[in-house]
């Protein structure tokens, strides 16, 4: 009887057993999933703590002082007198290092010198014996001085002429009264000179001083200029410089490589959009080798069609980060799309910070060391002044093996690393971009990273922290035009204020594209800057 009951209960028992096993498996899977989620969250916490409280630099840490990175003393006396030797051997050891002579560095020779002379009173120019002293030389001391900004009113007097006789004037002759013409002005009928315009534009777009702060500065100098007037001047100036902007745009696309990036900007009063909507400032840096050019363009969107429009008929190398908006233009015929090793490195630096002391951190360090060697090879090529062919040969010999080694590491750990972990994300990012990351060895004009574009856009990002937003699309377009001109001047090692003052004087006089072209920073005769 019991035997029959057990046989009857067996199917139910089997079902219960199966259900139990399924629940146990689900429980184990849930435990594993929770363990992974906890590990990922712990990585994120460590990374965030590192961002908040750790060093922001991505440079590798060091174990001890070197010639390039000594330990920095906390004691100012120690800093000025030099660190004391730590041991008797160090104290007795001969020091063959060349010693710098004490004293401050000489002041720059290009600064204006104002002479002040000091002499002894006449009654002290006699020796104790009564004989007159003889001057045996001088001792010169140089100190720095500064003269605060000074407002001037430039009075332009034009002489009028009229006939002084009673002769009959021919019918088609010019009028009787003649007056000397004024030079063409960048803002016709305005009261502002090219020098003041250059000062306002440089303060806003180079030194990141918003117009309302400039208004306050002018008030302290006794000049009442409202920010509305300043904004009007900036817009009119930018409009007058549009032909220069167009030529710079053409120069960017004429080179073999373009670096491209974008950054958010808030623009008010955009048609059909809320003031809180995010817009974008795009930047391209290109131009012929040795003649860099930079353009900024404001767009309400981050769509990939913007990149397509800015590049227009461009054919050559395009260097960007991993943003998906560049995918379409990167597939266009005639364009070779490069990836950025700086962004790859940043991902693995985050792994190292977020997984300190773990196996993942060891993998990240291995990759970072190899990326560091790629940069050392680039430094070697630059420091030795290698020709383009020699640079390509060096990269093929030294960089290619490093790339293959990095790829082996990525492939080895890709299948065994949780995809949502910091290491998994870094590996996936690098592998997705891998075809673009291996192009740079083929051409000496190419770089490892997209830093030229990021460096060009950084002044805009710094200024944005101060002025916060653009008041209108017109203002954003004006800013893009002036940033383009200023960053192109800086890229060609021209001081912005001096260049802008010359440009604002000469643009109204230019009557042909050739004359405008001669004003571009890449082709400017530097002697004109000294005359302006």
Asked whether residue 258 falls in the same domain as residue 327, the answer is: yes
At 231, the pLDDT band (50, 70, 90 cuts) reads very high
Asked whether residue 258 falls in the same domain as residue 314, the answer is: yes
Q: What is the average per-residue pLDDT within 209-236?
A: 93
Q: Domains in the chain: how many in total?
A: 2
For 267, 386, 393, 442, 479, the CA distances from 470, given in Å and listed in that order, are 5, 45, 48, 42, 9
Last residue in a domain, options 397, 423, 448: 448
Asked whether residue 335 falls in the same domain as residue 463, the answer is: yes
Determine the pLDDT at residue 108. 84
Asked whether residue 294 falls in the same domain as residue 334, the answer is: yes
Q: Does any domain span residue 375?
A: yes
Q: Does any domain span residue 216?
A: no
Asked whether residue 377 falls in the same domain as residue 464, the answer is: no
- Could you list the residue range(s) of the whole structural domain that residue 250 is in? 239-339+452-531
- pTM score: 0.78
Closest by CA to 141, choosing from 107, 185, 109, 187, is 107
Convert the pLDDT of each residue in 57-109 to its tens digit: 565 543 444 444 444 444 444 444 444 444 444 444 455 555 555 567 788 88
Asked whether residue 331 falls in the same domain as residue 470, the answer is: yes
Q: Does any domain span residue 321?
A: yes
The token duo for 420 is 């949502």
Determine the pLDDT at residue 208. 93
Last residue in a domain, options 448, 463, 492: 448
Q: Does any domain span residue 36?
A: no
Asked whether residue 319 falls in the same domain as residue 349, the answer is: no
At 18, the pLDDT band (50, 70, 90 cuts) reads confident
Mean pLDDT for all residues in the chain: 84
Q: Return d(Cα 520, Cα 498) in angstroms, integer.
A: 13
Asked whether residue 353 falls in the same domain as residue 442, the answer is: yes
Last residue in a domain, options 448, 478, 507: 448
At 14, the pLDDT band (50, 70, 90 cuts) reads confident
Position 212 pLDDT exceeds 80:
yes
Q: Return d(Cα 337, Cα 259) in angstroms, integer.
A: 10
Q: Return d(Cα 191, Cα 94) in angstroms, integer.
A: 69
Asked whether residue 326 falls in the same domain as residue 469, the answer is: yes
Q: Does any domain span residue 478?
A: yes
Asked whether residue 470 falls in the same domain as residue 332, the answer is: yes
Q: Return d(Cα 8, Cα 3) in angstroms, integer.
A: 9
Which residues are CB-contacts of 67 (< 8 A; sequence separation ≥ 6)?
A: none
Instruction: Give the position of tokens 């990525």.
Output: 410
Q: What is the average per-residue pLDDT within 116-135?
A: 90
Q: What is the average per-residue pLDDT within 339-354?
A: 91
Q: Does any domain span residue 111?
A: no
Q: Return d(Cα 485, Cα 491) in angstroms, integer.
A: 10
Q: Does any domain span residue 420?
A: yes
297 DSSP β-pair partners: 282
Q: Does any domain span residue 3?
A: no
Asked whether residue 323 falls in the same domain as residue 282, the answer is: yes
Convert the pLDDT of each residue in 241-255 to its tens digit: 999 999 999 999 999
Asked whether residue 248 falls in the same domain as residue 335, the answer is: yes
Segment holding 264, helix H or strand E? strand 257-267
The token duo for 239 is 């409009």
């Amino acid at each position: 009887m019991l035997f029959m009951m057990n046989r009857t209960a067996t199917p139910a028992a089997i079902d219960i057993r199966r259900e139990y096993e399924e629940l146990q498996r689900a429980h184990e899977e849930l435990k594993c999933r929770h363990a992974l989620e906890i590990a990922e969250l712990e990585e994120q916490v460590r990374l965030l703590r590192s961002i908040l409280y750790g060093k922001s630099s991505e440079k590798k840490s060091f174990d001890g002082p070197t010639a390039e990175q000594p330990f920095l003393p906390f004691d100012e006396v120690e800093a000025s007198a030099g660190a004391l030797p730590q041991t008797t051997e160090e104290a007795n050891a001969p020091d063959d290092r060349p010693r710098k002579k004490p004293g401050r560095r000489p002041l720059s020779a290009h600064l204006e010198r104002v002479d002040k002379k000091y002499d002894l009173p006449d009654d002290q120019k006699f020796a104790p014996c009564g004989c007159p002293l003889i001057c045996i030389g001088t001792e010169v001391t140089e100190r720095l001085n500064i003269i605060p900004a000074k407002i001037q009113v430039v009075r332009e007097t034009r002489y009028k002429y009229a006939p002084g006789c009673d002769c009959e004037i021919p019918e088609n002759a010019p009028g009787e009264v003649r007056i000397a013409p004024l030079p063409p002005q960048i803002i016709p009928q305005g009261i502002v000179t090219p020098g003041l315009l250059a000062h306002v534009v440089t303060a806003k777009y180079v030194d990141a001083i918003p117009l309302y702060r400039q208004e306050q500065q002018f008030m302290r100098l006794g000049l009442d200029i409202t920010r509305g007037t300043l904004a009007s001047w900036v817009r009119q100036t930018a409009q007058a410089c549009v032909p220069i902007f167009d030529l710079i745009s053409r120069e960017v696309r004429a080179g073999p490589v373009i670096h491209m990036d974008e950054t958010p900007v808030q623009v008010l009063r955009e048609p059909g959009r809320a003031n809180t909507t995010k817009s974008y400032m795009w930047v391209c840096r290109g131009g012929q080798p040795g003649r860099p050019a930079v353009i900024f363009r404001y767009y309400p969107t981050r769509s990939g069609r913007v990149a397509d429009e800015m590049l227009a008929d461009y054919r050559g190398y395009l260097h960007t980060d991993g943003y998906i908006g560049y995918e379409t233009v990167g597939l266009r015929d005639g364009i070779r799309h490069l990836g950025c090793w700086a962004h790859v490195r940043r991902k693995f630096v985050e792994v190292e910070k977020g997984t300190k002391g773990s196996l993942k951190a060891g993998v990240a360090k291995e990759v970072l060391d190899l990326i560091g060697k790629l940069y050392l090879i680039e430094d070697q090529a630059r420091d030795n002044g290698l020709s383009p062919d020699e640079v390509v040969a060096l990269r093929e010999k030294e960089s290619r093996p490093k790339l293959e080694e990095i790829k082996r590491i990525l492939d080895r750990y890709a299948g065994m690393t949780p995809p949502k972990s910091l290491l998994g994300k870094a590996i996936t990012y690098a592998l997705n971009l891998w075809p673009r990351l291996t192009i740079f060895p083929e051409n000496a004009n190419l770089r490892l990273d997209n830093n030229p574009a990021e460096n060009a856009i950084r002044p805009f990002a710094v200024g944005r922290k101060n002025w916060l937003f653009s008041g209108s699309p017109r203002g954003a377009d004006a800013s893009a035009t002036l940033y383009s001109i200023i960053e192109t001047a800086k890229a060609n090692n021209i001081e912005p204020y001096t260049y802008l003052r010359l440009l604002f004087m000469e643009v109204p006089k230019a009557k042909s594209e050739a004359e405008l072209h001669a004003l571009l920073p890449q082709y400017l005769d530097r002697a004109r800057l000294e005359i302006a």
